[in-house]
Amino acid sequence: MKRTRIAEILSSENSGTHITVMGWVRTRRDSKGGFSFIEVNDGSCLSSLQVIAADKLPNYENEILKLQTGCSVKIAGALVASPGKGQKIELQADEIEVLGWADPDTYPLQKKRHSFEFLRTIAHLRPRTNTFGAVARIRNAMSQAIHAFFQGKGFIYLHTPIITGSDCEGAGEMFKVTAFNLDEIPKKDGLVDFGRDFFHGPANLTVSGQLEAEIYALAMGDVYTFGPTFRAENSNTSRHLAEFWMVEPEMAFCDLEGDRTLAVEFLKYIFGYVLENCEEDMVFFNRFIDSSVIDTLETLVAQDFEYLTYTEGVKILSEAKEKFEFPVSWGMDLQSEHERYLCEKVFNKPVVLTDYPKEIKAFYMKLNEDKKTVRAMDVLVPKIGEIIGGSQREDDHDILVERIKEAGLNPDDYWWYLELRKFGSVPHAGFGLGFERLIQFITGLANIRDVIPFPRTPGNVSF
Ligand code: 4AD
Ligand code: MG
C-alpha cells in the first residue's frame, strides 16, 4: 500500500501531483454546493490534510456522507492550491475507500476537548489526539537529538542490562525478578531460597545503568546509555513513574566540573534541537498547554545556568521569607518546593547544585576533603525541580569500601565495582537525565503520565 505522508505533502506543497493518502478522519463537513470537506490526519504531523470529496464520487451517498471521526480511509487524488483559509493546499479526491468504520455512538474520542485524566483511561486511542501525537513526535525527535549529541562527541552507546543483581542507588526501591511459582516459594531456614531461583540468586529490574556504564567508561573513555529504568518507590506524584527512561553518560578522566559542563551543554543542545526541528508541535504546546515554553527554551539556549553549592543553596533557603512545608536545615534532602523556589523565585533559571551532604546521597559519590560532602550535582529547573542527578565517582578503593559499609551495604556484593578501583582506577564522572521530566519541561505538560506512551505508576499497569 503505497502512500504519501501528510507531513511530506504539507512541507513540499506540490500542487498538481497525484498521490494516495491514508489516515483517520478527524471531521467531515458537508457543503450545499455538492461536496464535502474531510479533515484527515495520519500522525506524521500535527496538521490534518483537507480533502474535497465531490458528490459525483460513486460512494458519496452511501459511504462518504456517513464518514465520522475515527474512520480510517484511503484517498487518491490530486493536490491543488486551496482557495480556503487555513491551508495552502488540499486534496481533490478521485477515489475514497473506507478502510474501517468507527461507530460515533461508541467511539470514545469524539471531536471535543477531553481531560487528560479521561484520555489516560483510553491509552490505546489517545495518540490520535493532537496533544499525544505531538508528545510522541517530540519524544522521537529528542531521542534522535540525544544520540546525535553524544555520537557527535565520540561517545560509545552502551546497552546495559535490564535485569541485574546489584542495587545501583542502594535505596532498595527495586522490583524483584523471579521465575518461582509465587504460591510455592522454596524456603531455607525460614527465608526465601534464591539459590533455587532462575539466576541462583536474587535479581531485580535495574534502577540505573550507571555501575555497568562505569565498567565501560574505564575501558573506552566516554560512553552513554539510554534505556528504561524501574523504581518501586510508592510516590504518587506528577513527576514519578515506576518505569521511566534515563540517559546516562559516563566519562573517564573527568571530574565534577567536566560533568557539569557536559550536562549544561547537553540540555542546551536538546532545547535548540527541539526549537529547530519541532516547530509546529512546539507552537501547539505554547498555545494550548503553557504559553511560556518557547520563550523559556529560547532564553535557555542563550543564557548560562546558575551554579552554587548545596550549602549556599540551604543558606538562601533558610533566610527566605517563604513558608515551606518542610523547614530547611543543613543536612536535609531538598524537597521539590525548595528546588523550585531556587529556580523560580531566586534565580529565575535552571540551577546546578553541587556538593551535597554525603548522608543524603548514594555511596558511589566521591568524598570531598571536608569528609562531610560529596561531589554530587543536581540540575534543577523551574516548575519541575530535579531533572538530572550526577556526580564524580569515588575512585579510591579504601574510601569506597567504607562508604559502602556506611550505607549498610555489603562490599562483597560490589566486588567487581571495587576491583575497578584496584586496577587502573581513574577519576571519572557521569550523570542521569530523567527523559520524561525533560519532556515535561519542554512541553509544559504538568503530569509525567502524559509524556510517556504507557505510564506505569502505583496501581496502573494497563495497556
Ligand atoms: O538522581 P537519580 O536517582 O540518579 C541516578 O540514578 C544515577 N545513577 C545517575 C547517574 O549518575 N548515572 O536519577 C536520575 C534522574 C533524576 O534526576 C530524575 O530526573 C529521574 O532520573 N528520575 C525519575 N524520573 C521519573 N520517575 C522517577 N521515579 C524517577 N526517579 C528519578
Ligand atoms: Mg537524584
- Interhelix angle for 435-443 vs 130-152, to 10°? 120
Residue type, 239: R
**Domain spans in the chain, listed from the N-terminal domain onward:** 6-100, 127-171+207-450
Distance between Cα 425 and ligand 2 center (Å) = 25
Domain 127-171+207-450 part of CATH 3.40.50.970 = no
* Torsion angle of the four alpha carbons 385, 282, 110, 35, in this order, in degrees rounded to the nearest 10: 180
Mutation test of ligand 1: which of 225, 244, 379 has the most ligand atoms closer than 8 Å to its C-beta?
244
Element containing residue 405 per DSSP (H, E): helix 397-406
What pLDDT is attached to residue 4? 96
**390 Cβ below 6 A of ligand 1:** yes
Q: From CA 166, how far away is CA 94, in angstroms rounded?
A: 62
Ranges of the chain whose pLDDT falls below 50: none
- Grid cell 475507500 — which residue? 97
Q: Which CATH superfamily is domain 6-100 in?
A: Nucleic acid-binding proteins (2.40.50.140)
* Torsion angle of the four alpha carbons 153, 139, 285, 342, in this order, in degrees rounded to the nearest 10: -60
Q: From CA 17, how far away is CA 91, in angstroms rounded?
A: 10
Q: From CA 268, how far away is CA 45, in angstroms rounded?
A: 24
What pLDDT is attached to residue 167? 79
Helix ranges (DSSP H) in 289-358 = 293-302, 310-319, 336-340
Q: If we measure between CA atoms, which residue out of 117, 206, 115, 114 comes closest to residue 159?
A: 206
Q: From CA 373, how far away is CA 353, in angstroms rounded?
A: 12
What pLDDT is attached to residue 326? 95
Q: From CA 380, how far away is CA 341, in angstroms rounded?
A: 10
What pLDDT is attached to residue 351? 97
Q: From CA 259, how far away is CA 242, in angstroms rounded?
A: 27
What pLDDT is attached to residue 356? 98
Sign of the four-CA dihedral 206, 389, 448, 335: positive
Q: From CA 447, how far away is CA 131, in angstroms rounded?
A: 13
Mutation test of ligand 1: which of 208, 334, 336 has the most ligand atoms closer than 8 Å to its C-beta?
208
What pLDDT is attached to residue 15? 82
**389 Cβ below 6 A of ligand 1:** yes
Q: Which ligand is nearest to the CA of 224?
A: 1
Q: Which ligand is nearest to the CA of 207?
A: 1
pTM value is 0.97
Contact 451, 443 (CB under 8 A): yes
**Which pairing describes strands 373-381 and 385-392: parallel, antiparallel, or unpaired?**
antiparallel
pLDDT digits (tens, 9 = 90+) for 180-211: 999 999 999 999 999 999 999 999 999 999 99
At 117, list the grid cell: 485524566
What residues does the ion ligand 2 have nearby, CB within 5 Å?
Answer: 389
What pLDDT is attached to residue 80? 95
**246 Cβ below 6 A of ligand 1:** yes
In ligand 1, which atom is closest to the CA atom of 250?
A: 12
**214 Cβ below 6 A of ligand 1:** no
In ligand 1, which atom is closest to the CA atom of 388?
A: 17
Q: If we measure between CA atoms, which residue out of 279, 39, 345 comes closest to residue 137?
A: 279
Percent helix, strand and coil across the chain, each rounded to 5?
35, 25, 40
Map residue 150 onto helix, strand or coil.
Answer: helix
**44 Cβ below 6 A of ligand 1:** no
Gyration radius (Cα) of the chain, Å: 27
**Same CATH fold, 127-171+207-450 and 6-100?**
no
Residue type, 462: S
Mutation test of ligand 1: which of 386, 442, 448 has the most ligand atoms closer than 8 Å to its C-beta?
386
In 253-294, DSSP assigns E strands to none
